[in-house]
Chains A and B, each alone.
Chain A
Amino acid sequence: DQQVKQNSPSLSVQEGRISILNCDYTNSMFDYFLWYKKYPAEGPTFLISISSIKDKNEDGRFTVFLNKSAKHLSLHIVPSQPGDSAVYFCAATERGYGNKLVFGAGTILRVKS
């Protein structure tokens, strides 16, 4: 039972354009969401997060949007750069559940120059 789903295995975007990575979740108890970026043979790197009390959080080129009614979040990268090419994981956690993150399967982003 996948509680966090990233339905697009891969995404290809032209340099300078917007990259939109999507994530859906099924557990309505999740109240904090995170995005991680992972290069091959390296550990994931924390990118940005959002609490369920917000619907948007922005950090430089990265913006995360949360739609609680649709149980959907997305990561926008503007403008996309070749160095953004990596696997992006969405993760969610439920308050009071030991801070255990539930990860999606990841989306491979390729930014073409």
Chain B
Amino acid sequence: SQTIHQWPATLVQPVGSPLSLECTVEGTSNPNLYWYRQAAGRGLQLLFYSVGIGQISSEVPQNLSASRPQDRQFILSSKKLLLSDSGFYLCAWEEGPYEQYFGPGTRLTVT
């Protein structure tokens, strides 16, 4: 069966520091992968999606970036975090045609 991993589970970072969140998927090949953010009291906002290695589409202009160095690995990064980057970050993979399955999430607090 397919499994999706995210780490770390929680993270507290100062403003201006870099960020790297990792997501890996097991049990499937060439999945579509997604990064979402849920800010406090808000819905899920799509940040990036990827249909293959090296293929990244950005949905929202921001100081975040994403990379997909391997088929089942999706990384969310920032060079300098802002206070507004705080939130709950979720990685998801897609099982066609439309259902997406989410990882456990990373709670990021920028101080």
Contacts and interface: CB of A to CB of B under 8 A. Distances in A.
Contacts, number: 60
A86 B27 CA distance: 28
A105 interface: yes
A105 B59 contact: no
A89 to B, nearest CB: 6
Contacts of A104: 43
B32 A41 contact: no
B74 interface: no
Contacts of A102: 46
A43 B105 contact: yes
Interface string B73-98: 00000000000000010101010111
Interface of A: 4, 6, 32, 34, 36, 41-46, 49, 89, 91, 93, 98-106
A43 B105 CA distance: 6
Interface residues of B, number: 30
Which of B94, B98, B103 is most buried by chain A, counting CB atoms within 10 A of its CB?
B98
Interface of B: 4, 6, 32, 34, 36, 41-46, 49, 51, 57, 59, 88, 90, 92, 94, 96-105, 107
Nearest to A48: B99
Nearest to B101: A46
SS of B interface (majority): strand
B32 A99 contact: yes
A103 B46 CA distance: 9
A95 to B, nearest CB: 8
28 contacts: A4-B43, A32-B97, A34-B98, A34-B99, A36-B102, A42-B104, A42-B105, A43-B6, A43-B90, A43-B92, A43-B102, A43-B103, A44-B44, A44-B90, A46-B99, A46-B100, A46-B101, A89-B43, A91-B44, A98-B49, A99-B96, A99-B100, A100-B34, A101-B46, A101-B98, A103-B36, A103-B43, A105-B41
A106 B43 CA distance: 6
